[in-house]
């Protein structure tokens, strides 16, 4: 279930809320439905994780300069 961040255009309150399909969120401060939808918290975290570089060294796990398997001797 997605969590979306909204900014209320009426009172300026920013809040996060669960949004079920078919429902319209309203401002917890003034109950206005005139909201500006911002980025999903989950979507932002997911794209960040996917974009993160994978630390792959010569041995594929620890980056030991001795080459594949060298770290296993330590």
**Contacts to Zn ion by CB under 5 A:** 8, 10-11, 13, 27, 29-30, 32
- Residue whose CB is less far from Zn ion, 3 or 30: 30
| Minimum gap (Å) between residue 6 Cβ and Zn ion | 9
The tally of CA atoms less than 13 A away on the side-chain side of residue 73 is 8
Question: Cα–Cα distance between 5 and 17 in angstroms, integer?
Answer: 6
| Minimum gap (Å) between residue 29 Cβ and Zn ion | 4
Bin 43: left if φ > 0, else alpha if -120 < ψ < 50, else beta: alpha
| Minimum gap (Å) between residue 25 Cβ and Zn ion | 11
């Amino acid at each position: 279930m997605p969590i979306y961040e909204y900014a209320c255009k009426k009172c300026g309150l920013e809040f996060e809320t669960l949004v079920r399909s078919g429902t319209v969120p309203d401002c917890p401060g003034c109950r206005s439905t005139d909201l500006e939808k911002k980025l999903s918290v989950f979507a932002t975290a997911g794209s960040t994780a996917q974009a993160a570089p994978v630390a792959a060294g010569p041995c594929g796990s620890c980056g030991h300069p001795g080459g594949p398997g060298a770290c296993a001797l330590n």
